Structure formats: C-alpha cells, structure tokens
Amino acid sequence: MQSKASAVPEYLASLPDDRRNALESLRKVFAANMDPLFEEGMQYGMIGYFLPHRVYPAGYHCDPRQPLSFAGLASQKNHLSIYLMCLYSESADLKWFSAEWAKSGHKLDMGRCCVRFRRIEDVPLDVVAGLLRRVTAKAYVEHYEANIRSTSSKASAEAKARQPTKKATPAKASSTSKASKSGKPSAKPANAKPSKAKRS
C-alpha cells in the first residue's frame, strides 16, 4: 500500500499508534546498525533505505533515476513489512538470516525479500541488527552487480537458444556447370588449337 507522503515524519503521522511505534522501533535499529553510507527517505511510497547517487551514481539499473534501494519499512493493509533487498537471491546472508530467526523462536513469514509481521514483538530485533551489521554498502554493491551480470548472461544465453538455426544455402554453380546444364556449348579455352579450314 503505497503512501503519497513526501517525508518520513509525514508517513509515520498517518499511521495508527501501534503501527507507528513498531516502525519507529525498527528505524532505531536501522539507524544504530546500518552502514552510514545508506540514507533514509521516502521511496516507492514507503520508508526507504538506499545508496544515494553521490555514493552510487549508476542508481537502480531498471530506473537509473532512482537511487539503489537497500531496505524498506512499510505499513500494508493487513500487516507490516521489512524489505531486505540483500536477501533477494540465495546467498550466505539469506541462510544466516533464516537460521538466526529460527533460533529466536519466532515464526518467519517471508517472501523473496519481504518479511511480514503484525506486531513488533514478533520481530527479533537483534537478528535484524545483526544482518544490517553484516551487509556493508561495499558488500551490497558487489552482491547487486554480481546478480546483474549473472541475470544478463542467463538472458543472453536463453535468447541465443531461442534463435532459429540457419539452413545452409547451396553453393552457387560455376559458369561452366550452368552452361552444360542449359545444353549450350561452353566457350573454347584460350589455349585451344584452331581447327584446319576445309579446302574448297
């Protein structure tokens, strides 16, 4: 559920007390543990954490006008969400995060990179903090660019595999072959001896 708020305080002010308090608790965890190169602001209608263009000029590859997203906090219709883009692919960070969350005794309700919860008590904040300390801005960019290269290589290979195989075209017949096929005599070779003239 995207908000039209232009600033984080405005977004928080629009939420019920329990949801606002939950997101405020998470904001404190982000502020205390996240690499300082990441910045907080409104992005995609939610509270976003991203690498600004002054740090990563290329921006998001699908829309370079957008800074490179790292994480997000959102109030959805039926739940609250933590978006953790560093967990988008099968990585060591994802394995660590899943294992540590399980150790906490809390149930992990997670999609590709979205952790869903209803109450802040359902979130082991120390696990979130640990993940933020693990993933520096430098490590995140390396992980992101490696995924782009891998995806591009896979797409190129699939596109090449879909291309129809070209049929071999027969070689063009020589002029001598064409002449013999048409029934017309071929030209005499240049070194042929002249025939003797008939006596009258």
Three state DSSP letters for 177-192: HHHHHHCCCCCCCCCC
**99-122 pLDDT tens trace:** 999 999 999 999 989 999 999 999
Q: Where are the alpha helices (DSSP H) in the chain?
A: 8-13, 17-33, 92-103, 125-134, 137-162, 175-182
CB 55 within 8 A of CB 137: yes
* CATH of region 8-159: 3.90.1150.200
Task: Name the more confident of 51 and 163.
Answer: 51
CB 50 within 8 A of CB 84: no
Domain ranges of the chain: 8-159
Secondary element (H or E) of residue 39: strand 39-43
Banded pLDDT at 180 (limits 50, 70, 90): very low
Cα angle vertex 18, ends 14, 24, to 5°? 75
Q: Are strands 39-43 and 80-84 parallel, antiparallel or unpaired?
A: unpaired
**135-168 pLDDT tens trace:** 999 999 998 998 888 776 665 555 566 777 666 5
Q: What is the mean pLDDT of the chain?
A: 84
